[in-house]
Chains A and B, each alone.
Chain A
Amino acid sequence: MSSTSQKHKDFVAEPMGEKTVMALAGIGEVLGKRLEEKGFDKAYVVLGQFLVLKKDEELFREWLKDTCGANTKQQGDCYSCLREWCDSFL
């Protein structure tokens, strides 16, 4: 059982609203920039992609890796962050 980061806890605590993509757990400055270049400038856009992929872990991880080059840990952090947020607010 991996413990969640402070960033994760902050994100899942409230509706994301207009938060930037860098507010997501696992997405730092570098990955955030790459996502913004691809058009994913807000966290809710990444959420939209997460939902379009039917919240499937494997598909989302693969997409994230292809889109911004996230490694395994970053993929996992972002996935669990979004999944938990959906469990609370979706």
Chain B
Amino acid sequence: MSSLSGKSDEEISQLLDEYGIKHGPILESTRNLYKKKLSEAMTKKAKPSSSNKTYYREEQEEVEYITYQPPQLSIYDGSGDVTRRSKVTGADFAHDIRRSKLTDYRDEDIGYNNEPIISPARSSYQSSSRPGPSVSTSMQRGQSSPETSKSGGVPGWLRVLVFLIIAVFLYYVYTCMEPAEEIPLKSIQ
């Protein structure tokens, strides 16, 4: 430990800055005060720079809890359907949490645009005529179907087929809704 009495005014000023001690000019009347403060600071801390390193270490202890589920299972579970919401239990909810980026599919009523790739394909196998009642069964069967499907990516022809099925389904729903729309118009007149 070097003695503080041998330091010049500039060195004392630098040391005070290193220890983060707010100070004024080093004069005759203030030198003793600052030397005393420096000796107190030196006994408390070994070195002013070592304390910074500990902060840096704490920053490195960040743990990321982001997990990525295999696309087949989670995407299928998350396909949007009104009736399926009520049946979504804790198992499905766990999958949804992990795929936080795709939370939109929980909110959709009719739009299947978020995940048209795989999930409707599973449900489309079972839903032939009416999409309503078959959805409940599709979810049960769908959990087994991903296991039999390909472990790799989705084939291109399958995507086109799914798109066509969705388009047909939407057209069917639209045609069914037309007579219902006319009634309110008539009532206004």
Contacts and interface: CB of A to CB of B under 8 A. Distances in A.
Interface of A: 49, 52-54, 56, 59, 62-63, 66
13 contacts: A49-B30, A52-B24, A52-B30, A53-B24, A53-B30, A53-B33, A54-B24, A59-B22, A59-B23, A59-B33, A62-B37, A63-B33, A66-B33
Contacts of A62: 33, 36-37
Contacts of B37: 62
B33 A52 contact: no
A31 to B, nearest CB: 17
Contacts of B22: 54, 56, 59
B36 A52 contact: no
A21 B33 CA distance: 20
A52 B29 contact: yes
Contacts of A49: 29-30
Q: How large is the interface on B (under 10, 10 to 19, 20 to 34, 35 or more residues)?
A: 10 to 19
B35 to A, nearest CB: 11
B23 A52 contact: no
Given A49-B30, A59-B22, 16 more contacts: A52-B25, A52-B29, A52-B30, A53-B24, A53-B30, A53-B33, A54-B22, A54-B23, A54-B24, A56-B24, A59-B23, A59-B24, A62-B37, A63-B30, A63-B33, A66-B36
B27 interface: yes
Contacts, number: 27
B32 interface: yes
Nearest to A60: B33
Nearest to A45: B29
A42 to B, nearest CB: 14
Interface in B1-54: 22-25, 27, 29-30, 32-33, 36-37
Contacts of B23: 54, 59
B9 to A, nearest CB: 13
A52 B27 contact: yes
A66 B27 CA distance: 16
B43 to A, nearest CB: 16
Nearest to A39: B29
Nearest to A48: B29
A53 B24 CA distance: 5
Question: Most A CB atoms within 10 A — which of B29, B30, B36, B37?
Answer: B29
Contacts of A66: 32-33, 36
Nearest to A51: B24
A49 B27 CA distance: 10
A52 B27 CA distance: 9
